[in-house]
Amino acid sequence: MKAIIALEDGFVLEGENFGAQGERTGEVVFNTSMMGYQEILTDPSYKGQIVTMTYPLIGNYGVNDEDYESTKSHVEGFIVKENSSIYSNWRAQGSLEKFLKKNKIIGIQGVDTRALTRHIRTLGAMKSVISTKTLNKKKLVDIAKSSAGLVGRDLVKEVTCSKKYIWKDGKSKKFKVVVFDCGVKHNILRLLDIYGCEVIVVPATTDAQKIFDIEPDGVLLSNGPGDPSAVFYLIETVKKLLGKFPVFGICLGHQILGLALGGKTYKLKFGHRGGNQPIMNLLTKRVHITSENHGFAVDMNSLNKDEVEITHINLNDKTVEGMKHKKLPVFSVQFHPEASPGPHDSRTLFEQFIHSMKKAK
C-alpha cells in the first residue's frame, strides 16, 4: 500500500506502507543512531514527532520484551529507507513490522531518507503528516500546515503517569529518590535501583508539599517531550524544591531546571537525536560520546553566571549540555547518561547524584 509523508513547506515523499495504516500529524525529525530503534520507538520524549532513521536498514534484529523504555510506543510515525523483512538475533521475539501494527504506528519504507534529512537540516524540523488514507499531496500539505506544532505545547501531561508508584520493591535501599515522570525512560529507573535507591515515581503535576511529605533524599527531573516552557506547573514546583533536596535533571529535566533557575529555553533548528553526540565536560576537558533526543535547549546567556556554572557543551554547535548550581547540590545534563553509546561514559553522573545525597544526609 502506498504511503506519503508531507511537510508543511510542500516537500512530499512517497513510499510503501508497513506497520499500521491511517493518518497522523507530528513534527518530522531525524535520528542518526545505527541501532536502538525499539528504544527510540518506546521513548516518551518522541511524543508528537514523526521519526526518520538515517541508517538505511532498520529492523534486522527484531524486537523483544526487554528493550522497552516505557510500556508502549509514543512516536507519531516511523520513516525508514528499508525495513528488513528478515530479523535475526538470539533475543528477538518478533518483527519490527508486527511491533508497529500492535502499537498502531504508521511506517513508511522505500523513501529517500537522505533527501528528507538534508531538507530538515537545511530548513529545520517542521510540521508534517504521514498517511495511507489521504493520497492527495496538496491536501496533505494543508493538513500538515494546520496541525499543532511543538512550540508552546505541553506534551508532558500526555505521557506522565496517572498516579505515584514505586519502581520494583524499594526494600533495603540506602536512598529514597523521587522521580518526576515527564516521560521517564525505564533505564533511568533501572540505574537508580542498581545504585541503591528506592525509586518513587510521581506525576509531573505533583505539587511541592507532596514531595516534602515523602521526605526523599533526592529529586530527579526526567526526560520528556515538547516545549519545556509550557510545563509551567513543574517549573514552579522545582523552584520550591531548590535548596531543600539534591536535584538531578536529565534532558527535559535539564531544561525545566534551567527555567526554574531563571533562565530561558529556545527551539533548535533541527535538534539533536542520535547516539553519537560529542559532549565536552568543561571541568575535566574529557569528551563523552552520548545519546540525545531533544529539540529545545537552555539559553547559555540567560543564566545567572554568579549562581550557575556551565559544565558541558555540545562540540557540534556549542549549545549548553550541562550545568550546576555553584552553592546548591543541583546539577543537570541535556544528554542521556542512562543510554549506552559510550557505552558507560556518563554513568558517573549517577554516582555524582548519589554522592550529593550522601553529603546532604
| Residues classed as catalytic | 251, 336, 338
The contacts of residue 21 (CB under 8 Å, 6+ apart) are 1, 106, 132, 133
Grid coordinates representing 101 are 501494527
Torsion of CA 254, 258, 259, 260, to 10 degrees: 90
Distance CA 70, CA 67 (A): 9
The identity of residue 13, as a single letter, is: L
Distance CA 60, CA 46 (A): 22
DSSP secondary structure letters along 174-231:
SEEEEEEESS--HHHHHHHHHTTEEEEEEETT--HHHHHHH--SEEEE----S-GGG-
Per the CB < 8 A criterion, the answer to whether 183 and 160 are in contact is yes
The contacts of residue 66 (CB under 8 Å, 6+ apart) are 91
Grid coordinates representing 263 are 533562565
Torsion of CA 338, 340, 341, 343, to 10 degrees: 120
